[in-house]
Structures are given as C-alpha cells and as structure tokens.
Chain A
C-alpha cells in the first residue's frame, strides 16, 4: 500500500490557500442581477397588505415578487423526511397570508446591484396583524396554545415511539433508578461561508443552471426541477467550492427556488448571497430537544432498562429532513451499552421559530448526551467510578453484530479497548489522584468521560428518505490518466485527495494521475451527496467497486497479451505484472489496448469506463472514549479545559491527516455546545442571537492541544472496512465536557447543570456555596 493509510497532504489546498478557488459569491456572469429578500419581522402574524410600489420606483429594480405570485407558479419547499401520521403544513417559497417565524421570506426583489436590491427590499411595505407567538415547545403542545398552522387542531407535529422489552418490569426490579432532565439547546450550524445561489437560463437549449453552495447537488437538481417546472434533463446544479455545511446545506431552501424562478422570469442570471444575519435566522438550526431520561440499574451498576421522553422543537415548518432527525436519537439512545429494555417516546412540536434539521451529528449528539449523562448520574448515585460503570455495561467484541434495544444492529466494536487506551493516555489514575489533592486544597477540578457510539455511513436505502446508496464512476482516459466522478459532494472533507489515494493504490499508479471531480450534475452520474459521515464509506466504496471492475478488465487485456491468466495479473508501480510468465506491460500500454481495440480478448467491449452504485447493507457504528479535564476558576466560575484526550475508532483510515482534522473540528464544535453556543429567541419569537456578536462561536484560545489516538476495528459492512469520521468528534465531546464540570462541582452536591455551561451558571453555584 503506497498511499492508503498515509498522511498525504491535500490536493485541494493550493487553490484554497492562494485565494484562487471559486465560491458561489465569486461567480460573476455577464448581465447578472442580484436579489434581496424582504423577511418577516414578526414570529407570528397575518399579512394584511404588501405595498411594493416604492420598491418598484427605485432605479435599477427589474422585478419584485411576493407569495401570491410564487405560490401559483412554484412548488412548495420539499419535505423528504416523513413520520407516519405527521401533520404536513405546506410551505411556499414566499409567505402567503401569514408568517410563522422571524426571518421568513415574504417578498423578493431583483436589481442591477446588490446595494440597490437591498434598498428596494427595505422599501417594500408589509403591514402585519401580529398574533400571539409560542416559542417554548412544551407550551406549544399544551391545549390552549396559539395554533401555528390553523388547518390543524394543535401544534403537535407528530408523535413517535417504541418499546423494546418490558421496561415496566425492569424498573420494578431495579435497585436504583436515576432520573434527569437534559436539554439539548438549539444551535446554529454557522458554516463560515453562508448559503448562496446563482441561477441562469443558458442558450441554446434553455438549460436552467443553478450554482448553489449545497451538500446535495443531485437531490437539489431534482427538487428544483419539480419546484419551478423545468424538465429535469434540462436542469443542472453545480456546486462550486463550498465553504462548510455541517448539515445546514443538506437541504432545499426557498431562496434556491427563488433564484431559479427569478432567472426564468427575468431571462438574466440572478444571484442571491445570504447575509450572516439571514444565516443565523433563516438557515436551519440544530438540536433543540428536551430529554427526560430514567435509567434502572442493579446495585452493582448493571443497566436493566431506560426510558426517554423527548420533546423535539420542529420550528415553524419542516425543511428536508426535519421530522426524522429526532428519530435518530431514539435509535442511538442506548449508546455503547447493553440496555436490555428501552422505551422511547417522541413528540415533535411546532413553534414560531426557524425549522430545525440536520446539524453535525443530527440526532446522535442528543442521544449520546442523554445516555452519557444519565450513566454518569447513575455512577454518582452508586458511588461508582464512571469508567467502571461503563466497562460493566459494554457488550463484548464477540457479541457483534450486536442488536440494540434502539432497534439497530451495531456492526463491530471493542469499546473496552478504546476506553482503556483513553484512560491510559490521559493517565486517569494520576488525574484522580491530582483531583483528590486539589479538592483537599478546596479547588474544583473535574474529569469527564464519554464512551460514545454513533451511526455513520448513511445508509441503507430502506432506512433513508431519498436513497442511501452512492455512485462512483471511474474512467481511464486513453493516455492512462484516471478521472473519478463521485456522487458525494465534499465541502472541506478532502475526498479529492482520499479518493485519489484509494484509486492510485488499486491501479498501482501515481496519485497525481488521478483526478476526482464532484458537484456537477451534468458531469457526474446521479448521486446522493455528502452528509451523515457517508462520503468515504458509501461513496468511496462505489469508486472502489468501479475500480475493481476496471482492474478485472485490464487484467483480462494484459493476460491476453502476455499469455497469462487474469487472476495472475498484479498492478504495481505503473505496471501490470504477470507473475507466472515473468512478463509485464505498463499500465498505459494496457489502457491503450482497451481503446485501440484491435487485440482484445474475444467478446470484450472496448473502453475503460465504469459506474457503480453501492448500496450498503447496514450503517457503520464508529465509537471511542473521550476524556476531558476541567479546572474551574473560583472567582469567575469559568471552566477551563486543561486536557482533552480522544481515542476514536472509525475503522480503517485512508488518510490519518484528514481523519484527525475531522476529529479536531468535531470536538471543538461539540465543546462549543457544552460551553458557549445557544440560539435564543425571546418569548415573542424575536431572535436574540442574530449576529456573530451575540452567537458565541469557539475561538482559537478556548482550547488546549487535543491529544488524539485511535483503535482500529474494521467495519464488515464495506470492503475497505471504513466507518466514517465526520461527526464523531461532535458526538463524543459534548457529554465529556459536561460530565467533567459536574464531576468538578460534585463535592457541592451538583448532579446536573444545563448547557451551555457558561461561567455565570457555575459562579452562581459557587456563590450559593459561599453564602451558605
């Protein structure tokens, strides 16, 4: 193996570090117009009147559209994630009749430059009749709450639940029951590049071309074609460089439909670039669940059963996958443990807020937080070491594939190995000793563990709303250069490099002879996209399979010419070597034969081009243990992370540099949920965290150097044994941090503290202690 497993620096980077790459806002088409959106200033209101006359008078304005026009001409915002029996409100691209959250698009203008477009949008007069708003999901589903969608009787979007085994019996037989309410606060994904799209109708075929900063070019193409009524084979989506997504661009948004419609209407290219305030108000949010959790155990710490009641805040309406994200919480709630009985009850609540949807981890961070916190609560109550209660309940490696009470089958794992490695790396015994010393001095230091498991490589199509497979095409050009087309749509993960590593190794050629393309529906066979830590495990496998087919064909050609047999041909150092005949030919010579086609084995077609669609048989389930150490400043209450150790197992690793990068970034995002971030609406539904001055992202000086290590348990689900790593850090880290803080404060009798654990929350606890 020449490249796979090596820390190869990225092919993507020269263009990115030099500023020569092209993001969507970098596109400038001749005659391009700009659009700006007038948005609701109310969380819940009837639209009495819209006066666009002043906007029209502004020089440079070429179109003004409102919901009335759009509703008749464009389909609604698509919803792919459905739960049986759920209420289905229809959401138009622009509001019709009423608005249900602050920031909802009400009208759009098109003008010759973006400053004029913004001026014109501000000149649109919208008269509202405000209605009572509801922002608390538990209040929203109570009888008597203002009803957001008046065609329905209440704000209960759906209910969902299941029970595995008899939890009542388990709780009756328990020695100990621990119970806690955990809140997974609402978060904003905040990719550094906001959303944006450009649409144009291209001569001569009147092809509708949309450049969008998206994670799902093909799904977007299908949805936009249907939405604006252009045949799909004359609709093309191109993703230029995408500046991060974290799930927020795994969607089909009103503005993408609007630019397509406006390009068709004006006959000119139309650009829309989201502002950061729009991004915080009108790009999907994540999390926002209230989890009431009970755990039943024996005295020795053996788990007997769990009950979780979840209220999920949907927001005002569904985006693409909104409804099914909290379902994933139920699938993963038993975590890395034997939980023989489990009852899960979920209610989705409509509120006057932006829709929630997939944000890095999507349902699994919530699950991991609730199980990893409640297990720590149990350890605290039973006076057990948090490491030992975890160890006691891990299924053993021999038990895999392991069917959980969450209803999924874990593919492969060795949880204890990762735990032990993390404890060793962190010097857990030494940390506990230091903690005892610090406590003796009246100082607050805590050690938090999180032994997470997660659901990756999404996924089998039966479990997915719009196909869980991925496409991979490999074409060997007559000169021996290899073009790889992937249906995955990387946006920072680095698959142009990692996929090249896979292909170069298999063919025995140089990595620079492989070029990976993605994100253009006219060039790339239909695919699903990048999300759910799926690109390598599903998309990479499709490419791997296509490569195997082409290798078989090339081996056939080489065997024919070298008078060997195909199974004896080895691909190495740019050659196809017939070991038995002690002969070889260059890779390029074999490729040339496939195209000249004068001396092919009987019955073989010319050419070297193969597309495969990989349908995984199951998800993959990466896991690991994170150890977080915090020290608390007694004066300010500030929790400072002094050490962070993460041992992750994502199966085989193609490029450790990229895998570690994903884990670094993931951990910091998860830490940020624990300590800093929270989307806040006031009771009237006004967004209080509407700019980056108010929404606290982590900064460079907030963390120490993270110490990473790995264990390797290959997945049996795909031939490369890879699992996926995009979300692991985010999923594993949040509970480790909160567990550490609770551990630090446990001498004060603290058993739980809600996120984000800002200094003032801790300061109040410490102050209360001093006062008493």
Chain B
C-alpha cells in the first residue's frame, strides 16, 4: 500500500509546504513541496529524472507509469505527498551496470518504439505485467497494456517485444536457478 499522509501543520496565509522523503532508484530525495505538486513534477523537476513523461494528465495514456513500492502507477495523477516514504523505480532505474534491462533490449530489437515518448511508461507497465505473469499469451499482453497508449507503432511490435522479453527473462531466471 502507498503511504498517504496529507496532514499539514502550517499556519494560514503561509505558503503551505510539506517535507517528503521519496526513494527513487535507490537514492533518497528529500524536499519541501506544496501538497499540490504532482508526483511527475517531483520525479522530473526535483529529482531531475526526465525519462518519465506526461502525456494526458488524466491517467489514460500511461506515459508517466512508474513503479511505486513494486506496483505500476500513473504518476501524473498522484501527488508527491502521497508518495512520501515510498520506494519508486523509474525507467532510469531499469538498466543495471550499463546493461539494458531485457525489456529495454527487446523493445530495441523488435522495433517496439518509434518516437519513443510512450516507451518509458510502456516498459514500466510491461515490467509489472511480466512480474505477475512470466509467460503471458498475446491476448494477455494486449490486455495488460490497455492502460498505455502508443500512437506510432500500432502496438504490434510492442507485443512482440514483451513476448521476447518474457523469453529472455525466463532464461535468465533459469540460469540463476541453476537449471
């Protein structure tokens, strides 16, 4: 569950801010923010991580998808104060040791992106999809991605990319498990 702490203790008339502590990709960011500051603006503006994009401001397009405490959420309709104490992962946290995450690698190989604007959110959503179901069918992938819009690819190569990543990630897990 996401911690929700909206209590404020500022006298009337003063600019109301609240201290938040948010961990993003393993690094703690601490800042005094207005309660109305959107989480996307915290990630992009305060933490300077601009790989998370804003596409619609209404939770429809999913360009702003991140992981909050392991769950994919649309950060454009969350306030930063709602994420106080949370542990977030953004697209910038996906590659490890200079190696692209299998999802990033697969989007590249399968031409699962064109303009690239939706891609970062799409990858974060696909990450949750595969975490919940390591071997999804085509229909399950398509259903799992309905909360993320892409205007360029017609989704076909995105579906292929997720299929490919699913194979890669299973392989890695098998190797790790000594199979």
A residues touching B (Cβ–Cβ < 8 Å)? 9-10, 12-14, 16-23, 25-26, 28, 115, 190-194, 241-244, 246, 275-277, 491-494, 657-658, 660-661, 664-669, 691-693, 697-701, 703, 705-706, 729
Main secondary structure of the interface of B (DSSP, over half): loop
Chain B 12-52, CB-CB to A under 8 Å as 1, else 0, gives 00000000000000000000001011000000110011111
Chain B residues with CB under 8 A of A700:
141-143, 145-146, 148, 150, 155, 158-159
Chain A residues with CB under 8 A of B139:
701
Known: A13-B116, A665-B114. A192 touches B150 (CB 8 A): yes
Chain B 86-113, CB-CB to A under 8 Å as 1, else 0, gives 0000111011000010001101110101
Q: Tell whether, in the assembled complex, residue A18 and residue B56 are in contact, meaning their CB atoms are under 8 Å apart.
A: no
Further pairs besides A10-B111, A192-B150: 8, Cβ < 8 Å: A19-B120, A21-B116, A26-B44, A241-B115, A244-B115, A661-B152, A661-B157, A706-B154
Q: Considering the chains assembled together, what is the distance between the CA atoms of A660 and B51 in angstroms? A: 27
Q: Considering the chains assembled together, what is the distance between the CA atoms of A729 and B153 in angstroms? A: 11
Residue B149 at the chain A interface, CB threshold 8 Å: yes
Chain B residues with CB under 8 A of A698:
154-155
Residue B172 at the chain A interface, CB threshold 8 Å: no
Residue B81 at the chain A interface, CB threshold 8 Å: no
Q: Tell whether, in the assembled complex, residue B51 and residue A18 are in contact, meaning their CB atoms are under 8 Å apart.
A: yes
Closest-CB distance, B102 to chain A (whole angstroms): 11
Residue B85 at the chain A interface, CB threshold 8 Å: no
Closest-CB distance, A732 to chain B (whole angstroms): 13
Chain B CB within 10 A, most for which of A12, A19, A243, A703: A19
B residues touching A (Cβ–Cβ < 8 Å)? 34, 36-37, 44-45, 48-58, 60-61, 63, 90-92, 94-95, 100, 104-105, 107-109, 111, 113-120, 123, 138-139, 141-143, 145-146, 148-159
Q: Considering the chains assembled together, what is the distance between the CA atoms of A705 and B110 in angstroms? A: 14
Q: Tell whether, in the assembled complex, residue B61 and residue A243 are in contact, meaning their CB atoms are under 8 Å apart.
A: no
Q: Considering the chains assembled together, what is the distance between the CA atoms of A193 and B159 in angstroms? A: 21
Q: Considering the chains assembled together, what is the distance between the CA atoms of A21 and B159 in angstroms? A: 23
Chain A residues with CB under 8 A of B108:
9-10, 13-14, 17
Closest-CB distance, B95 to chain A (whole angstroms): 6
Kindly identify which residue among A242, A658, A697 contacts B151, using a CB–CB cutoff of 8 Å.
A697
Known: A10-B111, A25-B54, A492-B114. A669 touches B151 (CB 8 A): yes
Q: Tell whether, in the assembled complex, residue A703 and residue B154 are in contact, meaning their CB atoms are under 8 Å apart.
A: yes
Q: Considering the chains assembled together, what is the distance between the CA atoms of A191 and B157 in angstroms? A: 18
Q: Tell whether, in the assembled complex, residue A241 and residue B57 are in contact, meaning their CB atoms are under 8 Å apart.
A: no
Kindly identify which residue among B50, B100, B145 contacts A17, using a CB–CB cutoff of 8 Å.
B100
Known: A19-B51, A492-B114. A693 touches B156 (CB 8 A): no
Q: Tell whether, in the assembled complex, residue A492 and residue B152 are in contact, meaning their CB atoms are under 8 Å apart.
A: yes
Chain A residues with CB under 8 A of B143:
700-701
Q: Tell whether, in the assembled complex, residue B111 and residue A661 are in contact, meaning their CB atoms are under 8 Å apart.
A: yes
Q: Considering the chains assembled together, what is the distance between the CA atoms of A10 and B143 in angstroms? A: 27
Q: Tell whether, in the assembled complex, residue A692 and residue B145 are in contact, meaning their CB atoms are under 8 Å apart.
A: no
Chain B residues with CB under 8 A of A693:
58, 60
Chain B CB within 10 A, most for which of A10, A17, A191, A660: A17
Residue of B nearest to A273 (CB): B54
Which 6 residue pairs spanning A and B have beta carbons closest together? A19-B51, A243-B117, A16-B116, A492-B115, A668-B154, A19-B91
Known: A25-B54, A494-B114, A701-B139. A244 touches B156 (CB 8 A): no
Residue of A nearest to B160 (CB): A705
Known: A16-B119, A192-B118, A700-B145. A665 touches B153 (CB 8 A): yes
Chain A CB within 10 A, most for which of B119, B156, B158: B156
Kindly identify which residue among A193, A666, A691, A705 contacts B138, using a CB–CB cutoff of 8 Å.
A705
Chain B residues with CB under 8 A of A243:
53, 115-117
Q: Considering the chains assembled together, what is the distance between the CA atoms of A666 and B155 in angstroms? A: 11
Chain A residues with CB under 8 A of B116:
12-13, 16-17, 21, 241, 243, 492
Q: Tell whether, in the assembled complex, residue A18 and residue B94 are in contact, meaning their CB atoms are under 8 Å apart.
A: yes
Q: Considering the chains assembled together, what is the distance between the CA atoms of A20 and B63 in angstroms? A: 15
Chain A residues with CB under 8 A of B141:
700
Residue of B nearest to A242 (CB): B115
Chain B residues with CB under 8 A of A669:
151, 154
Kindly identify which residue among A18, A26, A667, A703 contacts B100, using a CB–CB cutoff of 8 Å.
A18
30 A-B residue pairs with CB within 8 Å: A9-B109, A10-B111, A17-B123, A19-B51, A19-B52, A19-B90, A23-B53, A25-B44, A25-B54, A26-B44, A115-B34, A191-B115, A192-B61, A193-B53, A194-B55, A244-B115, A276-B58, A492-B152, A494-B114, A660-B111, A664-B156, A665-B151, A666-B154, A667-B154, A669-B151, A697-B149, A698-B154, A699-B155, A700-B141, A706-B156
Q: Tell whether, in the assembled complex, residue B113 and residue A13 are in contact, meaning their CB atoms are under 8 Å apart.
A: yes
Chain A CB within 10 A, most for which of B55, B114, B119, B156: B114
Q: Tell whether, in the assembled complex, residue B153 and residue A661 are in contact, meaning their CB atoms are under 8 Å apart.
A: yes
Q: Tell whether, in the assembled complex, residue A701 and residue B142 are in contact, meaning their CB atoms are under 8 Å apart.
A: yes
Chain B residues with CB under 8 A of A25:
44, 50, 53-54
Chain B residues with CB under 8 A of A241:
115-116
Q: Considering the chains assembled together, what is the distance between the CA atoms of A126 and B62 in angstroms? A: 35
Q: Considering the chains assembled together, what is the distance between the CA atoms of A242 and B55 in angstroms? A: 13
Known: A693-B60, A699-B146. A9 touches B117 (CB 8 A): no
Q: Considering the chains assembled together, what is the distance between the CA atoms of A383 and B104 in angstroms? A: 52
Known: A19-B51, A193-B115, A492-B116. A275 touches B57 (CB 8 A): yes
Q: Tell whether, in the assembled complex, residue B63 and residue A192 are in contact, meaning their CB atoms are under 8 Å apart.
A: yes
Kindly identify which residue among B50, B104, B151, B153 contacts A22, using a CB–CB cutoff of 8 Å.
B50
Chain A CB within 10 A, most for which of B56, B104, B145, B146: B56
Q: Considering the chains assembled together, what is the distance between the CA atoms of A657 and B161 in angstroms? A: 13
Q: Tell whether, in the assembled complex, residue B115 and residue A691 are in contact, meaning their CB atoms are under 8 Å apart.
A: no
Q: Considering the chains assembled together, what is the distance between the CA atoms of A664 and B154 in angstroms? A: 5
Known: A14-B108, A692-B58. A23 touches B90 (CB 8 A): no
Chain B residues with CB under 8 A of A664:
153-157
Chain B residues with CB under 8 A of A20:
51, 92
Closest-CB distance, A18 to chain B (whole angstroms): 6
Chain B residues with CB under 8 A of A706:
154, 156
Known: A17-B100, A192-B150. A244 touches B117 (CB 8 A): yes
Residue of B nearest to A20 (CB): B51
Q: Considering the chains assembled together, what is the distance between the CA atoms of A478 and B50 in angstroms? A: 36
Known: A19-B90, A276-B57, A700-B146. A192 touches B104 (CB 8 A): no
Residue of A nearest to B153 (CB): A665
Chain B residues with CB under 8 A of A21:
116
Q: Considering the chains assembled together, what is the distance between the CA atoms of A666 and B91 in angstroms? A: 27
Closest-CB distance, B22 to chain A (whole angstroms): 17
Q: Tell whether, in the assembled complex, residue B117 and residue A703 are in contact, meaning their CB atoms are under 8 Å apart.
A: no
Q: Considering the chains assembled together, what is the distance between the CA atoms of A18 and B49 in angstroms? A: 11
Q: Considering the chains assembled together, what is the distance between the CA atoms of A703 and B153 in angstroms? A: 12
Chain A residues with CB under 8 A of B90:
19
Q: Considering the chains assembled together, what is the distance between the CA atoms of A489 and B92 in angstroms? A: 27
Q: Considering the chains assembled together, what is the distance between the CA atoms of A23 and B55 in angstroms? A: 12
Chain A residues with CB under 8 A of B48:
28
Known: A16-B113, A491-B115, A665-B153. A692 touches B50 (CB 8 A): no
Q: Considering the chains assembled together, what is the distance between the CA atoms of A664 and B56 in angstroms? A: 23
Kindly identify which residue among B111, B138, B152 contacts A657, using a CB–CB cutoff of 8 Å.
B111
Closest-CB distance, A19 to chain B (whole angstroms): 2
Chain A residues with CB under 8 A of B159:
700, 705
Chain B CB within 10 A, most for which of A192, A658, A660, A691: A192
Q: Considering the chains assembled together, what is the distance between the CA atoms of A194 and B61 in angstroms? A: 12
Chain B residues with CB under 8 A of A493:
114
Chain B residues with CB under 8 A of A115:
34, 36-37
Residue of B nearest to A692 (CB): B60
Q: Considering the chains assembled together, what is the distance between the CA atoms of A463 and B154 in angstroms? A: 32
Q: Tell whether, in the assembled complex, residue A193 and residue B55 are in contact, meaning their CB atoms are under 8 Å apart.
A: yes
Closest-CB distance, A352 to chain B (whole angstroms): 26
Chain B residues with CB under 8 A of A194:
55
Chain A residues with CB under 8 A of B156:
664, 703, 705-706
Q: Considering the chains assembled together, what is the distance between the CA atoms of A277 and B58 in angstroms? A: 10
Q: Considering the chains assembled together, what is the distance between the CA atoms of A183 and B118 in angstroms? A: 31
Q: Considering the chains assembled together, what is the distance between the CA atoms of A658 and B113 in angstroms? A: 10
